[in-house]
Amino acid sequence: MSKTVIVILSNPQSGSEEALGRLFNALILGSELKQRNKIFEIIFQGTGTRWPFELENENHPAHSLYKDLKENIKGVCTGCAEVFGAKESIKNTGLMLMQEVALAGTSGVTDMAQYIENGDQFLTF
């Protein structure tokens, strides 16, 4: 059975409302899918690997949504977290560091091709 894969790429360090808006839209979609009992996963990739640290803060406006969806978060791309300086902060979130595919210069990255092979639907934010 195929699922929806929500990939969060926006950068919380960009200082833009657009990055926060993308995050909110990703989490809102996750919440809607959860309410409809649909199968979905959330993955943090690229500069989006910086979000979990921010979202662990109880004062963050998206903290409650993040906590409600945490069981649907598959993980965080390890190689991306290394490149964008987020790897250490991820260790304190309880989220899995994903390193399914070997990639030179990293500890590994998320196997995104598996989702295509499974016929899953991607949405990027």
Predicted TM-score (pTM) of this structure:
0.95
For 104-113, the pLDDT digits (tens) are: 989 999 999 9
**How far is it, in rounded angstroms, from Cα 21 to Cα 60?**
13
Domain that holds residue 82: 4-124
CATH code, 95: 3.40.1260.10
**How far is it, in rounded angstroms, from Cα 5 to Cα 39?**
9
Indicate the number of domains in the chain. Answer: 1
Reported as a pLDDT band with limits 50, 70 and 90, residue 95 is: very high
For 53-92, the pLDDT digits (tens) are: 999 999 999 999 999 999 999 999 999 999 999 999 999 8
